[in-house]
Structure 1
Amino acid sequence: MSANLHKLFCFFILFITAASAAFSQGRNVIGLNGYWQFSKGTYTPGSADTASAKWQTVSLPHSWNKDDVDDDTPGYYRGLCWYKKAITVNSDWQNKKVFIFFEGANQQTAVYVNGHKAGEHTGGYTRFCIEIGQFLDFKPGAKNEIAVSVDNSFNENIPPLTADFTFFGGIYRDVNLVICNKTHFDLSHASTGVYITTPTVSATNALVKINGQITTKSDIKQKLQIVTTILDLSSKMVADKKIFLSGNNTELNFAQDLPIISNPHLWSTDDPYLYTVITKIVDAKSGDVIDEVANPLGLRWFKFDGEKGFFLNGKPLKLMGASRHQDFKGLANALPDSYHIHDMELLKAMGANFLRVSHYPQDPMILEMCDKLGILASVEIPVVNAITESAAFTANCKNMQVEMIRQNYNHPSVVIWAYMNEVLLRPKFNNDKPRQQIYFANIAKLAGQLDSVTRKEDPNRYTMIANHGDFNRYKQVGLIQIPMLVGWNLYQGWYGGTTAGFAEFLDKHHKEFPDKPLLVTEFGADADPRIRSLQPERFDKSLEYAVGFHQVYLNAIKARPFVAAAAVWNLVDFNSETREETMPHINNKGLLTQDRKPKDVYSLYQAYLLNKPFIKISNWNIRAGITDSLNSSVCTQPISVFTNEHTIQLTVNGTRLPDQQVKDGEATWQVPFIKGLNRVEALITVDGKTYADIQDVNFNLLSRDLKNDRDSLLNINVLLGAKRFYVDEAQHQVWMPDQPYRTGNFGYVGGHPFSMPGNGQQSYGTNKNILNTDNDPIYQTQQVGIQQYRFDVPDGEYELVLHFAELTTNKTKEALAYNLTNNIQKEKAEERVFNVTVNNQSILKNFSPANTYGTLTAGQEKIQMIVTGGKGIMIAFEPLKGEAILNAIQLRKM
């Protein structure tokens, strides 16, 4: 093989192991996502594998926690893992600089090349770049091993320390090789090395200023030309500037004031017009391009005002949107770019113009899409809940803040740099108040230092801290006073209090700090997409309660001009491994599910925020209920439609119901549903054009006269001790809340709903994780002290399933920090032993759910039986120790 052919072959080998490749003059960027080896074992880079290193092939992005965060075993793997990859490099690169560029790895990373440590990085959410060329073997055909250790272990000197989200481990974003000449734009903070400011922007003129850093390692003093060109969307040049520099073996700073751009096309949320700024390093003697980078440019100006809110390009604009976490169902946080793009498209489709990137910098694609779609953004580092009073913690915080700013400096969408979130939520030293005051003083000191760093790095944007709702404590510590903006994370009517307290809090802030611009940086209520209720109440996790909650908050925000921005918590459901509740390990406050299916609350926001005609029927299309009366053939239940119009027409099964006026983005009808399929059509008319939404509702209608119902498809699923429905779409089942027994029908006899002792949130059931099931709501409620359960069904063959779970336990678990009013007392496990008979036949004898299945563990007992003589089904519970319980029951005619 000739030398040139061998070189071409080596270059081809590199490319087939790369995910993608991009070229500019003077610089190559080559993707390294494919074909990595991964191990949780120990490994010595550059040597033969040790016995414990068991490798598996993976592609990036990758997280090792995508499965263990969702299982029923508490905790998830937090520790050291290894990635390695062999590459063949181009021998021409020997005279260049070769870097490996990570978009994100959580949270301590070290890079080794051919056994040599090339560099390391601390922090799981900012990008980093490490030079590796000095360790590469450039001989033709030589294999170079890149080994990367990544460790997501707890480290008291690295934020975040604690948080209501999962600290996934892995190289969970893209990795690239960057090959450039020895003279190049500075890569030390994984930025482009070029920073764009717009000192003056108006409707008539715009002034653009460029600052940058160049690294040059040439032994010969070079004369360089810095050429900057601004192109519009049609690639037409609108301004350019050239300056000369000279130097060698040094770092050079440069600044350029470009010619004024007349009549600029302004960037706005409705018209996110982007220019492109191309900056080149050119050899002044030869004219060769040595390095080149491109950055987006949006010409806009903005301000926050304590009385009037936010202004963009001189016009008032209420910032409305959401916060966003970066994980996805089944993927952990290892998302391909297309997933990030889709999230931002969903946010824009909601009518939003604001994103709080929380609680950490996210994939570069997020802000790129904000620029393109017209979404203004706040970005923050992950100082969450608490700090460590150490020099190392402070240094890491400062470094994260600088990295975040420099890496994202040129995005026109960014208007806020933030650096703390609810940092007084978990105060240390609660039993030592003098020491706690020192701790608070150190928090304020760190906040002041981060604020100063931020203003020095970028004096043109605003600084912010997001606080939880303890107004007096944040005021006393000084965290309201330090930043330019204050964000409040408020949950009145959810974790405590009532929804009316939300508006009261906003007014209190404005009264005491009238000049301090205010943002509502979090608000929301859990909405399990499987739970519905005709009697919604706080903490029942129903979509109905969440919709009402958000209506109150949206109205209060809309009515107050001084509320500059609001970001609902959260755009999507996200993983929080320590959470239990109806969907364990998931925070259900998202407007979208973890796999991005819209909930009713998403439709509500579209009704509030969209400027184009919108209509959407509530997505409750699997239902069950009992006929309205003995002679009725329908069950009347409410159905909601969301729209931004004033009046809606509704037709059900071809019959038009009276038109409804819309209030707070919603109109509700009492609909007479028939058995089986119901066609529901909603219509609005705007400027003579009709907009419609159609939904088919499948209704399991049970006769009130059950004894005379000869339906061969009789199927009853009941939650005892509950006021909510549970919809299991996978099995196409809907579970109804229970009822007292009525002659001719079905229901319980005796007992009362289970309620957690000392609980100030839920009036019934438990919020604990139920083991051995993914259908926790079936087992989280129960009837305690039940005497009988009866079904007055006609003769026939039936399958009966009794569902049990012991909900009391001696185990204690720390409540989520937010549950400030949820003073759950230490529980005592109840001892229960009882007999169960069905139609006087013994089914369960000396039965104890706790002994049979374990506490907080789902179990079921299935019985097949034949009913004769018109006697129906009577299940009797005889207590032997304690009280008998039943969590749920199913009956199916066979």
Structure 2
Amino acid sequence: MLKKNIIWLVLVVIGLQNSVIAQQKIRLNDNWEFLKQDLGGIWEAVRPVGAGNPESVPLWQKVSLPHCVNAEDSVDPDMNYYQGPSWYRTLIEVKNPYQTGRTLLHFEGAGQKTDVYIYQTKVGSHVGGYDEFTVDITDAVAAFQKTDVYQKQFKGKIPLSIRTDNSRDLELIPSDLSDFNLYGGIYRYLNLVYKPALSVDKVFALATVDKDGKNASLNVKARFYNPKSASNAEVELKLISPSGKVINTQKKQIQLTGKDLEIANIKVAKAELWSTDKPTLYTVELNVKTADGVDQHQEKIGFRHFEFVEKGPFLLNGKRLLLQGTHRHEDHAGVAAAMTDEMMRTEMKMMKDMGVNFIRLGHYQQSRTILNLCDSLGMVVWEEIPWCRGGLGGDVYKQQARRMLTNMIEQHYNHPSIIIWGLGNENDWPGDFPEFDKEKIRVFMKELHDLSHALDPTRKTAIRRCDFCKDIVDVYSPSIWAGWYRGIYTEYKQVSEEEFKKVKHFLHVEWGGDGHARRHSENPDNALRKVKTGVGADERAGDASLIGGASRVSKDGDWSESYIVNLVDWHLKEQETMPWLTGTAQWPFKDFSTPVRPDNPVPYMNQKGVVERDFTKKEVFYVYQSYWTKKPMVHIYGHTWPVRWGAAGEEKMIKVFSNCDEAELFVNGKSQGVKKRNSQDFPAAGLRWNVAPNAGKNHVKVIAKKGKTVLEDEITFEYETRQWGAPAKLEVRKIAEENGKATIEVKLKDANGVTCLDSRNWVRFSLAGDGELIDNQGTSTGSRYVQFYNGRALISVKTNGGKNTIAVKSEGVPSELLTL
């Protein structure tokens, strides 16, 4: 059964007299069954499995881990996502190489409440969807192996059943008022772990260095898992350099007291510093030896010094670093929270390619894979617990918050990338409880602040958007959404300076706006004329709604990529003129699912991402690259804008985003001249040309130069000079087919056959036949119900080699059918 499982750390046998190192960690990915409902009891999960019992209901489906209960329904346009209990079951083989060892299940994350069973015995529970936890199954396995059922019914395998539950619960954080889904399932990796009788539970490796890098030291403490109450052990600690050389070894006998023990305190000569440009990592290896075996534990660490200058910038290793940041939710098309290592690596590398050096992990502890990637790629991190919106609950609620803060800090203590522990988000947002007492929230925030510093005095605490608590934490981020929820984007710098003066340490996280991918505009700033200025730039209750309230771009704008490009372009050019700024983090890197936005152009999606939910880049990705990266790049705005429009002979602006020194534009083979890049020349840093396109097809090419490097980019577009009237008909056709997948395009046209290029109407796709509609992806091309982008919409179909008919419907016009 375990043939396909990944051996995370293979079995190692080292010749030691009467001892072995045999540490094994096996990912339990395959051969799972899943049930999206509750059972009457554990017996229903473990009664004769696969025996063909016709009365064995309900039906289970085969899945692999990681798996999210809400992989598709979180973005289903016609229903709310499922919140409730679900079950997983499998059979495992237990072959612990240690004669007196412990067999553990290590959960990297499961949501939101988890119960674990070996056969009918409950062996552990956990509350909290984002921190890691371990369940010792040794005794339950041993007891089950003594039963007749073990051999007769289960043929020497162990039945493992797991119940997850993401039901609504006011005494659970995060709140269901949060702008993200509280997913259910085993959506991070689950590992079967073999350990000797005494093993390392956690290592706390405190690597410190002064700002000039001359005095570095390493203090190592350890916590042990010791269920058999061993009294002593021999430990060996090795510090391994980035090049793989052992540079320090410490050996000692320890007395096991049940408390964290100091293992070593080491001075490190000429330490190589960790930075965002050169993320240098050392390895701490701890070997613990008893008569029962040797347990080996490794941690990556880094030496770095950081400082938030009071009323000033951020320093890393004594030098100013402008934090160029983004945010991340654990969410992806088709799998929701169940992202694989490969997906996570792709996402983080894309961020680095965009120029990101800082990330806020919103709004919960995230996968260890992500933190490892932040360490190795060079991104400083703000990581936080999910005390998010709703107010403050009772004792159960508070205890969960304390526990999750403790777990987050202890589990991610050694990551050099982390500089901030976040204590909460939007804690000024009431709604879950009849009482909303600001003073009680302040008292609990102060408790969490003190707890954070007691657990880790080396890092800062922070919150975002709770002004009545801003004096409690070390670093504060107010709400500034200039040009989206309030005000216009040219007010960004002024509003930021005003907020900066109110706190000792200012860091602006969350800014930007929603862009419906593939929607573009010839007049994107039109909505700004309606927006009142001088009223601040903070988001307020109801601002995310598309109806009611004061004029604001989030409600009255066109939600085009064109507008978001202008907003971001302005923010980035201004940030270069703010020497006091620690940095910012745009919200977020990738579009993500949320239950509180059913009416967005892609239903149930927050569309503020730089990329879509499936990693498809939006145009704004290249704006960030042009400001934040050093590797030469050039990009003409409009790769996803096939048709522009206007009067015959009317000049249109063509923008080029590049970090090159100069660029020359060619339209239909004719040079439009050379422009020099100047970041303060808005828009597009001066790389813009006003050109009168030809009616019909146009070809645009740019040649950019940076030193001896020469780069090119090109696009084509149609220029529509005809005026269109009211929508009158749909035109649907297949535009591509490859590897059994057909791509369907629908256009909304007037009575004369002219595409309604500014349409924001809705369109619905459905399918009859042998195939499958590729929908519930949460993307502009992967939703069966979506707003048009410039009068068109796309969707794909798995044909399965059979007959299929696509139906396309949009209110007010006749429906259309297309047979494939």
**What TM-score do the two structures reach when normalised by structure 1?**
0.74
SS at match of 2:814: strand
2 CA distance for matches of 1:492 and 1:568?
A: 12
Deviates more, 1:14-23 or 1:71-80: 14-23
Q: CA deviation at 1:674?
A: 4.6
SS at match of 1:563: coil
Matches within 5 A, 1:194-273: 194-198=204-208, 202-218=212-228, 221-222=231-232, 224-247=233-256, 251-273=258-280
- Quote the residue 1:173 is aligned against: 188
- Quote the residue 1:840 is aligned against: none
- Quote the residue 2:711 is aligned against: 691
Whether the 8 Å contact between 1:581 and 1:768 is mirrored in structure 2 is no
- Quote the residue 2:550 is aligned against: none
Which structure is larger by alpha-carbon Rg, 1 or 2? 1
Out of 15, 19, 23, the residue aligned to residue 27 of structure 1 is 23
Q: CA deviation at 1:203?
A: 2.3
Matches within 5 A, 1:350-365: 350-365=354-369
Out of 535, 546, 553, the residue aligned to residue 564 of structure 2 is 546
Q: CA deviation at 1:303?
A: 0.8
Whether the 8 Å contact between 2:96 and 2:102 is mirrored in structure 1 is no
Whether the 8 Å contact between 1:75 and 1:578 is mirrored in structure 2 is no
Whether the 8 Å contact between 2:10 and 2:24 is mirrored in structure 1 is yes
What whole-Å deviation, never above 9, does each CA across 1:563-599 have from its counterpart, x for those lacking one?
2121100101111133122111111100111111111
**Mapped pair 1:274 → 2:281:** yes
- Quote the residue 1:846 is aligned against: none
What whole-Å deviation, never above 9, does each CA across 1:122-181 have from its counterpart, x for those lacking one?
000111111111100457852211110000111111111121112221100100011111
Q: Which amino acid aligns with 1:115?
A: Q
SS at match of 1:860: coil
Cα pair distance change 1:208/1:69, threshold 3 Å: same
Q: Which amino acid aligns with 1:153?
A: S
Whether the 8 Å contact between 1:207 and 1:257 is mirrored in structure 2 is no
2 CA distance for matches of 1:804 and 1:44?
A: 47
- Quote the residue 2:584 is aligned against: 566
- Quote the residue 1:324 is aligned against: 328
SS at match of 1:69: helix
SS at match of 2:617: coil
2 CA distance for matches of 1:144 and 1:802?
A: 50
1 CA distance for matches of 2:760 and 2:672?
A: 39
**Mapped pair 1:660 → 2:696:** no
Q: Which amino acid aligns with 1:30?
A: I
Out of 17, 41, 44, the residue aligned to residue 41 of structure 2 is 44
Cα pair distance change 1:243/1:653, threshold 3 Å: same
Unaligned runs of 5+ in 1: 1-12, 187-191, 468-473, 705-715, 722-727, 754-763, 782-800, 806-848, 850-858, 864-894
2 CA distance for matches of 1:656 and 1:315?
A: 43
- Quote the residue 2:521 is aligned against: 533
1 CA distance for matches of 2:641 and 2:499?
A: 44
**Mapped pair 1:519 → 2:519:** no
Q: Which amino acid aligns with 1:408?
A: H
Q: CA deviation at 1:218?
A: 4.4
Matches within 5 A, 1:72-471: 72-90=77-95, 92-93=97-98, 95-137=100-142, 138=145, 142-161=156-175, 162-186=177-201, 192-198=202-208, 202-218=212-228, 221-222=231-232, 224-247=233-256, 251-283=258-290, 290-426=294-430, 436=436, 439-467=437-465
Out of 477, 489, 494, the residue aligned to residue 487 of structure 1 is 477
SS at match of 2:74: coil
Cα pair distance change 1:96/1:733, threshold 3 Å: same
- Quote the residue 1:877 is aligned against: none
Cα pair distance change 1:420/1:549, threshold 3 Å: same
Matches within 5 A, 1:848-859: none
Out of 68, 71, 77, the residue aligned to residue 66 of structure 1 is 71
Q: Which amino acid aligns with 1:525?
A: G
Q: CA deviation at 1:720?
A: 5.5
Q: Let me know the Cα RMSD of the aligned residues.
A: 3.4
Q: CA deviation at 1:735?
A: 6.1
Whether the 8 Å contact between 1:302 and 1:310 is mirrored in structure 2 is yes
Percent of aligned positions with the same letter in both sequences? 27
Q: CA deviation at 1:465?
A: 0.6
Q: Which amino acid aligns with 1:687?
A: G
Q: CA deviation at 1:199?
A: 6.2
Whether the 8 Å contact between 1:770 and 1:779 is mirrored in structure 2 is no
Matches within 5 A, 1:670-749: 670-674=690-694, 678-695=698-715, 697-699=716-718, 701=719, 730-731=743-744
Cα pair distance change 1:775/1:177, threshold 3 Å: closer
Q: Which amino acid aligns with 1:269?
A: T
- Aligned pairs, number: 714
Q: Which amino acid aligns with 1:312?
A: L
SS at match of 1:83: strand
Whether the 8 Å contact between 2:209 and 2:304 is mirrored in structure 1 is no
Whether the 8 Å contact between 1:156 and 1:388 is mirrored in structure 2 is no
1 CA distance for matches of 2:123 and 2:91?
A: 16
Q: Which amino acid aligns with 1:48?
A: R
SS at match of 2:105: strand
Cα pair distance change 1:221/1:425, threshold 3 Å: closer
Q: CA deviation at 1:694?
A: 2.7
- Quote the residue 1:510 is aligned against: 500
1 CA distance for matches of 2:573 and 2:717?
A: 34
1 CA distance for matches of 2:140 and 2:81?
A: 35
Unaligned runs of 5+ in 2: 13-20, 49-54, 528-552, 729-734, 737-742, 767-782, 792-806
- Quote the residue 1:5 is aligned against: none
Greater relative contact order, per chain length (Cα 8 Å cut-off, separation 6+): 2
Whether the 8 Å contact between 1:185 and 1:194 is mirrored in structure 2 is no
- Quote the residue 1:860 is aligned against: 814
SS at match of 2:573: helix
Cα pair distance change 1:731/1:718, threshold 3 Å: farther
Whether the 8 Å contact between 1:82 and 1:147 is mirrored in structure 2 is yes
Out of 787, 791, 795, the residue aligned to residue 777 of structure 1 is 787
Q: CA deviation at 1:689?
A: 2.7
What whole-Å deviation, never above 9, does each CA across 1:253-294 have from its counterpart, x for those lacking one?
3213443221111111111111111111124xx7x8621111
Q: Which amino acid aligns with 1:345?
A: K
What whole-Å deviation, never above 9, does each CA across 1:628-681 have from its counterpart, x for those lacking one?
54xx7xx85433210123431112232211223443544222344456654422
Q: Which amino acid aligns with 1:44?
A: G
SS at match of 1:63: coil
- Quote the residue 2:776 is aligned against: none
Whether the 8 Å contact between 1:802 and 1:860 is mirrored in structure 2 is no
Q: CA deviation at 1:89?
A: 1.4
Q: CA deviation at 1:622?
A: 4.5
Cα pair distance change 1:145/1:72, threshold 3 Å: same
Whether the 8 Å contact between 1:304 and 1:517 is mirrored in structure 2 is yes
Q: CA deviation at 1:443?
A: 1.3
